[in-house]
Amino acid sequence: MFLGIDCGTQGTKAIVLDASSGKVLGEGSGAHHMISGANGRREQEVQEWLDAFEQATAAALKQAGISGAEIKGIGVSGQQHGLVMIDERGQVLRPAKLWCDTESAPENDRLLDYLGGEAGSLERLGIAIAPGYTVSKLLWTKEQFPELFARIDKILLPHDFLNYWLTGRCASEYGDASGTGYFNVRTRQWDTDILQHIDPSGRLVNALPELIESHQPVGRILPAIAERLGLNPEALVSSGGGDNMMGAIGTGNIAPGLITMSLGSSGTVYAYADAGNVSEQPSVATFCSSSGGWLPLICTMNLTNATSAVRELFTLDIGAFNAAVASAPIGAQGVLMLPFLNGERVPALPHATGSIVGLDSTNLNQANLCRAVVEGTTFGLRYGLDLLRDSGIQSANIRLIGGGAKSAIWRQIVADIMDTPVVCTTGSEAAALGAAIQAAWCRSQTDGADESLQALCERCVSLDPASETRPVAEHVAAYQAVYQHYRNQLQGL
């Protein structure tokens, strides 16, 4: 029995996996709240993560009908790029700045200039740093909270922090480390020079966690935490990883030939690669995977956050919202939404705001606005998928995950806009499943059983045939013109 945790933006999810049968026996969740500001601030109190971790774990164990003493390992997936700073007493210094925080965009611009622009960043790090990455959050903290900055003893990503809470050890694995902006994805080492540029004292370099391989454990759970969570004190905590890396494992995307697309708070598209061939496109992040290879990825900042905003504006439940989307025609009678409520990363428009264009007296209605926000967010994913395809990534189908994937009409819209069949996995929590599978892999390696990650994925990841959705030829043709209209609007920005 293995526990998989996914600490996301909106909440923490937990699953209990029977790695022998490949079945998920129980699920649980706990909610988080966002600290938001009009200046782009997006932060969370990390204590909420710990409370939600405990709540979600208890619910998953209860539903599974097992004792926590049966759990042999724990894997943690976390939202990428977030910054957790800890002092020498182990206390968190301030709320975590999240992946969707754009308050540090000016600092990112200055760091990008230091690196020689996007081309220089790609040459040096293998990625082009973006406002959501961790590195600019450090410079922002130094300038906004110098006294607090002087107390930094450890700098951790969200999943690293949860592993630290579980084990008392500070460690990071290559996949999640790839999104910091101070990690070289080619050499798989920290780039300490950029941290020395931010703070020549060496404080940040000394605060870095140890880097470990994906299959290596962080350690055993601390006795006090095992007691608090009701878990086996001998349970092993695996390296874990970023939510996209764990989502790749949870969809079986650990070999070339598959594309995973996530319809979550953010939208992501990624595919496994055996070699770290860095794309010339700055928007393609050639991150390391948490399975030994690389994971070329694009991420949009706006997806279900935008659709939820429109749904709540009309006080619609999800069923009524989907019905409204389905009742409007392709292209929403000329209504187009650029849903950049959090700025945008792909395309790179960190200072953009949302807009609705094409309104007139005949098309201003609820159904068209609902359809326009779904189409607008999906066009952003198409833009990113085109970049991945231009860099050589190919696939005959897309594995669709995230909350939006539960909507049949949205699945059809994705299939039509991408002109590619889509299918969902049977479990709804791909990142938590991937974390549990990785924990089973790690335990197997540690115990000398040496079961391969591929064998575990084949047993534990299954597809839902009822969700398979194929593109409709006339829909594909109709969307070509609408998507071109979207691209034309982007040129205006």
Active site residues: 243
**Which region, left, alpha or beta, applies to residue 36 given φ > 0 means left and ψ of -120 to 50 means alpha?**
beta
| DSSP-derived 3-state class of residue 234 | coil
Per-residue tokens: 214: 């994906």
CB 469, CB 412: distance < 8 Å: yes
Per-residue tokens: 53: 């971790």
In 291-397, DSSP assigns E strands to: 294-300, 336-338, 355-357
**Which region, left, alpha or beta, applies to residue 399 given φ > 0 means left and ψ of -120 to 50 means alpha?**
beta
Q: Judge if the upstream peptide bond of residue 339 is cis by omega within 30 degrees of 0.
A: no
User: Residue 262's closest CA among 33, 430, 467, 42?
Assistant: 430
User: How far does the chain reach from its first CA to its final CA, in angstroms?
Assistant: 51
Between β-strands 2-7 and 73-78, what pairing exists: parallel, antiparallel or unpaired? parallel
CB 374, CB 325: distance < 8 Å: yes
- Evaluate the CA torsion angle 276, 110, 138, 341 in order and state its sign: negative
In DSSP terms, 424 is beta-bridged to: 400, 464
CA distance 225 to 190: 30
Q: How many CB atoms lie within 10 A of CB 210?
A: 9
Per-residue tokens: 473: 């030829």
- Evaluate the CA torsion angle 263, 266, 271, 274 in order and state its sign: negative
Q: How many CB atoms lie within 10 A of CB 420?
A: 20
User: Residue 251's closest CA among 451, 15, 2, 429?
Assistant: 429
Q: 22 exposed, middle or buried (CB, 10 Å; 0-12, 13-18, 19+)?
A: middle
CB 476, CB 419: distance < 8 Å: yes
Per-residue tokens: 3: 């526990």
Amino acid at 477: A
CB 400, CB 412: distance < 8 Å: no
